[in-house]
Amino acid sequence: MTVPLRLSVRRSDVPVAESTRTALRISVRVPSELDAVEEAVDVVARHCVAAGLPARRARFNLRVALCEALA
C-alpha cells in the first residue's frame, strides 16, 4: 500500500526583500518509499516556479538537490 504525499503550501503577503516575489513555505510529508521521491520533487518544483523561481533553476538545481536529499 502506498501512502500519499501530504502537502502544505503557505504564501505570505509580505514581499521578499528586494523582490516582487512573495515568501513561500512548502511542507511535504513523504513516505519512506523511493517511488514517492519523483512525485514529491515535481510538486515542490511546480510550486516554486509558480512563486517566481526561474524555471531553469527549478528544472535542474532544485530538482537535483531535492532528489538527493530525499533519496
Q: Against a cut of 0.85, is the pTM above it? A: no
d(CA 62, CA 65) in angstroms, rounded, equals: 5
Cell numbers given for 40: 514529491
Q: What percent of the chain has pLDDT over 90?
A: 6
CA distance 70 to 28: 11
Taking the domains of the chain in order of start, what are their residue ranges? 6-70
Percentage with pLDDT > 70 across the chain: 79
CA atoms within 13 A on the CB side of 20: 0
Q: Is the pLDDT of residue 1 over 60?
A: no
Report d(CA 38, CA 46) in Å as an integer.
12
Residue with the bigger pLDDT between 23 and 8: it is 8
